[in-house]
Amino acid sequence: MDNTSTYVTEEFIEERIAVFIWKYSSPVLIILGTIGNILVIAVLSCGKIRKSTTNIYFTAMAVCDILVLYTGLLRLWIQFTFNLDIRHVHPAICKIHRPLVTFSLQTSAWILVAMTIERYLSVVSPHTIKTRCTRRMTLIILSSIVVVLVGINIHFVFGLGDLTLVGDNNETFVFHCDSIQDDYYKFTNDIWPWIDVAVYCFVPFGILSVFNMLILSTVFKGKRDLNRGTGCTLNANSTKRISSLITTLFLINIVYFICTTPISVFMIGNIYWAAQPGTHLAAVQSLVFAIVNQFQYLNNVCNFILYCFSGSNFREWLKSLCSRRRTDRNRTLIGGMGSTKVTPV
């Protein structure tokens, strides 16, 4: 989702606003996203809760979100702040970095799909979910997602590099991190954006929509049966926990759709409306590109806020982690004071 040219002259006001957004909004998102996702990993990696299959998914998604911020957004911030594109430093960096960005973005989306499907299974058959969705099965699913998405993005390793062309006057032109074959150039510009958007946004969102509707339908049916007294063996605590988790997933899905749809539409439209550099239309497009990119990376930043807002269990785990750290620090202080040797002056 990052194959759009970032050529900017700052001749037009739209370009100056775009550069301002890249320079000052990007580091804020990177810092907030880093802190939030590290806290998610720390909270969900403690004690018995780290064995929960859902928490394994949440932890994996937090790792992917950090990877997205430090491969995608950090590169763009460096480019617009220091006029340095790390992909141009060496062809090997280009071959690794480009697929790593798209892979991490797509992986985060498909982990969300896997979590939502698991929640549907837990709602439909709560008594057999522990035998169906085991820790081993979760790791197999995550590994399968990684293998498939690596396979989808591996073509960048073989198709990108430094392209050298010689003009009519024997003038040499070097294009860094570009398609090294004409056919591959056509593929990356005309076909790949559709594949990327489908894998990153359209297909995941379609699956998420279907399973979210199924979850809602099942939950409402269960509540209706409970009110009618047809029998429901789930206790109040289990119902509350499941409802909290479903609410969290719904919020994540909604934010995912809001944040990823604009960049997806832009990338597809850019195939047909790409403007010549230096024109006012190009300046407008650079501003739109900056805005939709910030929205895209916001999706990788705000999951921690959503967990705290909608997940009562997560809030309790976070409080427990903080209190445990505080207790350990106090014990260290007391222990240090108790072992202090007083030396006469």
335 in a domain, yes or no?
Answer: no
Task: State the CATH number of the domain containing residue 25.
Answer: 1.20.1070.10
Looking at every residue in the chain, the average pLDDT score rounds to 83
pLDDT-based confidence at residue 10 (cuts at 50, 70, 90)? low
Alpha-carbon 40 to chain mean position: 14
| Cβ partners under 8 Å of residue 21, min gap 6 | 287, 290, 291, 294
Q: In the prediction, which pLDDT does 160 show?
A: 93
Mean pLDDT of 73-91: 95
Q: In the prediction, which pLDDT does 311 show?
A: 58
134 in a domain, yes or no?
Answer: yes
168 in a domain, yes or no?
Answer: no
The percent of residues above 90 in pLDDT, for the chain, comes to 51
- For residue 128, which amino acid is it? T
Global pTM value:
0.83
209 in a domain, yes or no?
Answer: yes
pLDDT-based confidence at residue 312 (cuts at 50, 70, 90)? low
Mean pLDDT of 110-124: 90
Q: Which long-range contacts (CB under 8 A, 24 or more apart) does 86-95 make?
A: 87/176, 87/177, 88/176, 88/177, 91/160, 91/161, 91/162, 91/176, 91/177, 94/160, 94/161, 94/162, 94/176, 94/177, 95/156, 95/157, 95/160, 95/161
The better pLDDT of the pair 330, 167 is held by 167
The better pLDDT of the pair 249, 331 is held by 249
250 in a domain, yes or no?
Answer: yes
342 in a domain, yes or no?
Answer: no
Tokens of 314: 């997560």
Say whether pLDDT at 344 is over 50: no
Mean pLDDT of 296-311: 80
Cα distance between residue 99 and residue 21, in whole Å: 25
pLDDT-based confidence at residue 171 (cuts at 50, 70, 90)? confident
CB 91 within 8 A of CB 127: no
CA angle, residues 226, 227, 228, in degrees to nearest 5: 90
180 in a domain, yes or no?
Answer: no
Sign of CA dihedral 117, 122, 124, 130: positive
Which tens digits make up the pLDDT trace of 16-44? 999 999 999 999 999 999 999 998 888 88
Q: In the prediction, which pLDDT does 127 show?
A: 77
pLDDT-based confidence at residue 328 (cuts at 50, 70, 90)? low
320 in a domain, yes or no?
Answer: no
Cα distance between residue 24 and residue 27, in whole Å: 6
Q: In the prediction, which pLDDT does 263 show?
A: 94
pLDDT-based confidence at residue 215 (cuts at 50, 70, 90)? confident
Show the DSSP H helices in the chain as ranges.
13-44, 53-68, 74-82, 91-124, 129-132, 135-153, 155-159, 182-186, 192-197, 203-228, 236-273, 280-298, 303-310, 312-338
Q: In the prediction, which pLDDT does 124 show?
A: 85
Number of domains in the chain: 1
Q: In the prediction, which pLDDT does 313 show?
A: 63
Closest to 6 in 3D by CA, of 69, 72, 67, 65: 72
Q: Residue holding tokens 């705000």? A: 302
How many Cβ atoms are within 10 Å of 103's Cβ, its own excluded? 21
Domain with 116 in it: 13-154+197-315
Q: In the prediction, which pLDDT does 50 show?
A: 67
Tokens of 186: 């056509």
Task: Lowest mean pLDDT of 98-102, 137-141, 275-279, name the range.
Answer: 275-279
